[in-house]
Amino acid sequence: MKDTFTLGILTLGQSPRTDVEPSLRGILGPDVRFVQRGGLDGLSEESIRNLAPVEGEPGIETCVLRENGEPKGVCIAKRHLLPRLIAAGRELETLCDIFFLLCSGEFPALKHAVPRLIEPITFIRCVVAAVARHSHLCVIGPESDMPAAPAQWQPYAARVSTAVSSPYDGKERLSEAARTAKASGAKYILLDDMGFTEEQRQLVRSVSGIATLNATSIMARALQELM
């Protein structure tokens, strides 16, 4: 790795994502410089509320920052978010060595507009397939993402079940999801949201007794090879 390496982080919500920085630094080391941009940067609470999906419209769960800097989950309409993400991604591209999307979903229009942007889902799928192709995978993630999760992950695991918890729901909700995964008979758990931290992965592993994959950790280890 060169003396100063700048890693760009593009988040769907507001930056900086200080909640996930420790998980990244635990793998990438202390010398990496983070530069962050978000699709909701600079917006007031009222402006963000106006970006919520209308009834029947799919939404994307992301986070905004409270006054104390703590993340809070919000749901935003994809049609509102995408143009802002593209603008933020193009700005970020000029400020760093490599940069990635802090989201485990797919955004073809974003990738087309900002081709150098690294999408974690390409790495996560490979890891899941390597360990769970012939096993039962339980996917834990935000409620808005779970209806589509079985179809999304079925090509990479023999059986897929789900349990609901957002990274911002608190320890009890996450522990409940871990117990649900254990009761389902899953052999592996995937924390399918880039907001999940290493501390939360360890909590799920402890409560469930099941090998637990974290999307954020998978991405960090892939980035380590590029530095």
Q: Are residues 76 and 145 in the same domain?
A: no
Q: Are residues 112 and 126 in the same domain?
A: no
Range of the domain at 78: 5-121+221-226
Gap between the terminal Cα atoms of the chain? 5
CA gap 128, 59 in Å, rounded = 25
Number of domains in the chain: 2
Res 188 pLDDT > 90? yes
Res 202 pLDDT > 90? yes
Q: What is the largest CA-CA distance in the chain?
A: 50
Q: In the chain, pLDDT over 70 holds for what percent of residues?
A: 98
Q: Are residues 90 and 151 in the same domain?
A: no
The set of residues, in sequence order, having a beta carbon less than 8 Å from that of 96 and lying 6+ positions away, is 6, 7, 8, 35
Provide the pLDDT confidence category of residue 71 given band limits of 50, 70 and 90. confident
Q: Are residues 63 and 164 in the same domain?
A: no
Average of per-residue pLDDT across 71-100: 93
The pLDDT, as a whole number, for residue 1 is 53
Q: Are residues 13 and 112 in the same domain?
A: yes
CA gap 79, 74 in Å, rounded = 15
In the block, residue with structure tokens 């900002």: 114
Cβ burial 141-154 (10 Å sphere, 16+ → b, else e): bbebbbeebeebbe
Tens-place pLDDT, residues 155-174: 999 999 999 999 999 999 99
Q: Are residues 112 and 203 in the same domain?
A: no
The pLDDT, as a whole number, for residue 2 is 58
Q: Are residues 26 and 115 in the same domain?
A: yes
The pLDDT, as a whole number, for residue 68 is 73
Q: Are residues 165 and 71 in the same domain?
A: no
* Phi, then psi, of 73 in degrees rounded to 5: -75, 140
Checking DSSP bridges between strand 32-38 and strand 5-11, what pairing results, if any?
A: parallel
